[in-house]
Amino acid sequence: MATAIRIEALPARLGDCLLVECERAEGAPWRMLVDGGPSDTWPLLEARLNQLPADSRRIDVAVVTHVDSDHIGGFLPFVESDFARENVRDFWFNGHPHLLDGSRPRSIEQGESLGSVLTGRADGPVLPWNQAFDEHAIVTRDDALVEVTPRGGPRITVLSPNADRLQRLARTWAAVLSRAREKPRDVAEPDRPQPLGDLESLATERSEKDGSPPNGSSIGLLVEHRGASVVLAGDGFGDVLTEGLRAVAADRGLERLPVDAFKLPHHGSRANVFAPLIAVAPAKHYVFSSNGDTFHHPDDVAVARAVVGGPRGATLWFNYRNPRTERWDDDALKDRHGYRVEYPRDDQSGAVLELPSRR
Ligand SMILES: [Zn+2]
């Protein structure tokens, strides 16, 4: 069966760096890069981009989901690269000029370019910015779905952030951005994952909700192409994403929105992956992007919520095989809960999913 959407979760340590390709009947795929991982992901990303066929290197959209070092660290050298200048058609990113004043988006202030906002340098490169949204903020609306259908590409629906989350980011913008540009400090505390217990009780453990303004401002997208679908959730908040997905389902006369794949928010943090989020968009494939550095993601509680609340037969995709993730490759657990696991072929390749076309 032909592939409709190919998703590659590069090994970006604690961060996200996703390459998404929507295959077309003819010619190069429509291509989207989502985040660049922490700064040390750049050599790997650069090598991956250089592997693209010489005659079709175009990246239709490059998305910065939010300003945190594990998402923009590797994106900064990308923005300044010749590759980006030559090949990227549109950058999607909510910068300070986009932060909302009430419900009315402001257009980009004169003289402020994507490159200068991201890098903090006055002479940063001038690049196409949120053009698919008429240069306005990428944000959900209360009165209608926000959808774009780039020519020859997928249908993309914005799930996150909402106007409230963008406004909250505005208050701390300068501090958040300067912190995000720094190299993150790695916490020395080693990860010592415990044996997995009963998944039902793990899944129902209480968790605090994520309260980080940058995470809450994450751009979350539903990408649909030739009958296949994937949710790319950034580090978005569980309740914001749930609301966004519920609105799409309601628009289609559905209570829930079944999808093929779901890149779960915030590297599979228990503070973002809650039962209602799993319930509103049951997925055949759940993707976890993290090697466990610093924050020891994915949390067992979050993975258990996907296993227990998701459809039987679902596959968990980890972009690293390590002591934390390989505990899920347990025959007794897999039999009892009816799930499967997939790991990368090697430590350079990350997780690669190919979603078949249905038309
Ligand atoms: Zn993150």
The answer to whether residue 215 scores a pLDDT higher than 60 is yes
Hey, is 286 helix, strand or coil? strand
Looking at every residue in the chain, the average pLDDT score rounds to 92
Question: For the chain, where are the E strands, in sequence order?
Answer: 3-9, 18-22, 30-34, 61-63, 91-92, 147-148, 155-160, 220-225, 228-232, 259-263, 283-288, 315-318, 340-342, 351-356
Residues around ion ligand 1, judged by CB within 5 A, are 70, 235
- C-alpha 267 – ligand 1 centre gap (Å): 6
- C-alpha 216 – ligand 1 centre gap (Å): 11
What pLDDT, on a 0 to 100 scale, did the predictor assign at position 109? 47
The answer to whether residue 68 scores a pLDDT higher than 70 is yes
What pLDDT, on a 0 to 100 scale, did the predictor assign at position 118? 82
What pLDDT, on a 0 to 100 scale, did the predictor assign at position 110? 45
CA distance 310 to 87: 38
- C-alpha 236 – ligand 1 centre gap (Å): 9
What pLDDT, on a 0 to 100 scale, did the predictor assign at position 108? 44
CB atoms within 10 A of CB 48: 18
What pLDDT, on a 0 to 100 scale, did the predictor assign at position 341? 98
The answer to whether residue 140 scores a pLDDT higher than 60 is yes
Q: Angle 163-171/173-181 helices, nearest 10 degrees?
A: 80
Q: How do residues 99-135 score in pLDDT, each as one tens digit?
A: 755 334 444 444 567 888 888 887 888 889 999 999 8
CA distance 194 to 50: 40
Decide: 267 and 295 in contact? Cβ < 8 Å.
Answer: yes
- C-alpha 269 – ligand 1 centre gap (Å): 10
Q: How do residues 286-311 score in pLDDT, each as one tens digit?
A: 999 999 999 999 999 999 999 999 99
- C-alpha 70 – ligand 1 centre gap (Å): 5
What pLDDT, on a 0 to 100 scale, did the predictor assign at position 112? 64
Query: Based on the number of CB atoms within 10 Å of its own CB, is 83 exposed (0-12), middle (13-18) or buried (19 or more)?
Result: middle
CA distance 62 to 166: 20
- C-alpha 44 – ligand 1 centre gap (Å): 18
CA angle 300, 74, 212 (to 5 degrees): 50
- The values of phi and psi at residue 314, to 5°, are -70, 155
- C-alpha 31 – ligand 1 centre gap (Å): 22
What pLDDT, on a 0 to 100 scale, did the predictor assign at position 306? 98
- C-alpha 13 – ligand 1 centre gap (Å): 10
CA distance 170 to 17: 25
- C-alpha 183 – ligand 1 centre gap (Å): 13
How many CA within 13 A on the CB side of residue 271? 14
Greater model confidence, 87 or 190: 87
- C-alpha 253 – ligand 1 centre gap (Å): 33
- C-alpha 234 – ligand 1 centre gap (Å): 7
The answer to whether residue 98 scores a pLDDT higher than 80 is no
The DSSP call for residue 55 is: T
Share of the chain above pLDDT 70, in %: 95
The answer to whether residue 185 scores a pLDDT higher than 80 is no
Q: How do residues 33-47 score in pLDDT, each as one tens digit?
A: 999 999 999 999 999
List the single range of 12-16, 83-87, 101-105, 191-195 with lowest mean pLDDT: 101-105
- C-alpha 55 – ligand 1 centre gap (Å): 33
Greater model confidence, 351 or 122: 351
